[in-house]
A = this chain, B = another copy of it.
Amino acid sequence: MRPGAIYLGNDRCEFIVWGPLLKEVTLNIVGTAPRQIPMERSAGGYWRVTADNISPGTQYLYQLNGEKTRPDPASYYQPGSVHEPSQAIDRHAFVWQDRTWRCPPLADWIIYELHVGTFTEEGTFAGIIPRLQALKELGINAIELMPVAQFPGSRNWGYDGVYPYAVQNSYGGPSGLKQLVNACHEAEMAVILDVVYNHFGPEGNYTRDFAPYFTEKYHTPWGSAINFDDAYSAGVRNFFVENALYWLQDYHVDALRLDAVHTIYDFGAKHFVAELAEAVESLSQQEDRPYYLIAESDLNDVRVIRPQALGGYGIDAQWSDDFHHALHTVLTGEQKGYYQDFGKCEQLAKAWRDRFVYAWDYSPHRQRYHGSYAGDRPPEQFVVCSQNHDQVGNRMLGERLSQLVSFAALKLAAATVLLSPYIPLLFMGEEYGEESPFLYFISHGDPDLIEAVRRGRKAEFEAFHVAGEPPDAASTETFQRCILKWDLRDQGKHQVLLELYRQLIGLRRHMQKGSGDRKKLEVLAIEKEKILIFGRGSQERQFACIMNCNDKEVKYTSYLEGNKRLDSSAAEWLGDGSTLPESLTPPQELTLPPQSFAIYEQGNVDWEEKV
């Protein structure tokens, strides 16, 4: 049952809202010709009415039990704030021009995560479109939008959304998003939308007035958990399953990134995420085109991505935080907070080889065993990165990697992500070493809430022994500091880094070609010297990469063979000049420059002997 104001054409509109415990629901049309229309209760606790003289643009509220008037929890548009009336829209008004779009398989994706508000000065969907060509030239074929569901005010990461079906008004609303998706598809780029099904934001959430959206059985970091397994959960589950289908059907979105599925607490016999996967798979089959679900999961639980026949939830892919943390700590030496669980070169090798570093291993940070073995799942089920909105933005000062490590290390990070067997994700701006921070920012309307956020941020960083005062999340200046300086792309080292990203993506494509039946991946870590060596390739072409993660020069006796394809210490990449030979013949004494990598390619050989 799709909730919301479903415009039927000819000024008719069906309104459907879920309120199983309500005794009376009235549709209040607001504006110049206000009207009250009683709704009828139907099966499952849904209230429905089909009304005439409703043109697209008509605004409305629901009156509950003759008392409170509230916006629609399934509002498709909030032209004013989160506290004001909802608006009916004509879902068929937009003329799509993406009929020829064919979504590539997930294994081929290079994802670019962006935040609409800070990606451009405009901070809108429309502002993104002129930049798509540049991203395409870089090799990107999928953009991932941080959440766009209506949140309070105009500045927010998006995780405070309270109208899961409404496109943020300040970003350009429903038609703005459709134009962007259409333009992406014309540019042969897929669109991933980040959706939040584990909590509602703290301001403007009126769902409690309508139905039992929450349960007291479990606690989440955001308070009571959303009710996925208690009495009346069927309506809550329907609300979110339909939401997922809505983005895919009405907005032509190709994939959803499910925020923090580990806080979707569901002990029932069919986990909500499994039900969601079934519904999306069913739509895929019906439309004979792929739609993908990608989960963020802090569980390292292979169940999330296993097929349902093997007892899994059937999600297509998930983010691998372990990969990020292993890489980040090796490059930065950081050991605070959750980074205390990482720092060894061998862990980075394990992340390459076995997917999860923590596969039911004891985690000192969590003070418990964590994760499960996922080495039997294909690599295209994992999304990896050296930076993302969380890993940058949850630092007190929001520093990107470019502010934390040397230029050499930035190049090494790029190679680690882009040459990995997993799906790479770039965080907007990293490709040219953007220097703006990505800070936490909000623009709530409630002064108490703003103060609570300030206190919360401070306490959080103090708990991790981070000194200093966090920037004020509520100030406009904090937000503006985060806007990308796109012009940097054409300047000096930024331009060089951008070209390196482009070449690495090209090399990745080249590596992926060849017969799929004998793809190899061998990874070796020399812990003491922080050297990581991997060989991968197909029967026809094989590659070896030598990575020195150390911040000083180290010696290495190589038994590898091949011709050099890319060397990060070469002068063209602003290195100190290459010291590595053009071709390798074993055995060979090599001197590896600090934080460098080099890739060699060769023909048909047996890699197991070499690496």
Contact = CB atoms under 8 A, between A and B. Distances in A.
Contacts of A362: 234
B268 A299 contact: yes
Interface string A342-375: 0000000000000000001010001111111000
Nearest to A360: B270
A311 B367 CA distance: 25
B311 A306 contact: yes
B218 A368 contact: no
A303 interface: yes
Contacts of A300: 269
Contacts of A234: 362, 368-369
A469 to B, nearest CB: 29
B229 A368 contact: yes
A230 interface: yes
A371 B233 CA distance: 14
Interface string A196-237: 000000000000000000001111000000000111111000
B311 A303 contact: yes
A269 B231 contact: no
A267 interface: yes
Interface string A313-324: 000000000000
A261 to B, nearest CB: 11
A234 B367 CA distance: 8
By size class, the interface of chain A is 35 or more
A95 to B, nearest CB: 39
A46 B343 CA distance: 28
Contact of A269 (B270, B302, B309): B302
B368 A233 contact: yes
A528 B309 CA distance: 37
A265 interface: yes
B368 A267 contact: no
Contacts of A367: 231-232
A522 to B, nearest CB: 26
A269 B370 contact: yes
Contacts of A372: 269-270
A301 interface: yes
A485 interface: no
A312 interface: yes
A233 B233 CA distance: 29
A470 B216 CA distance: 29
A432 B386 CA distance: 71
B371 A269 contact: yes
Interface in A247-296: 262, 265, 267-270
A360 to B, nearest CB: 5
A156 B169 CA distance: 62
Interface in A141-166: none
12 contacts: A217-B218, A229-B368, A233-B368, A267-B299, A268-B299, A268-B301, A268-B369, A269-B299, A269-B302, A269-B371, A269-B372, A310-B310
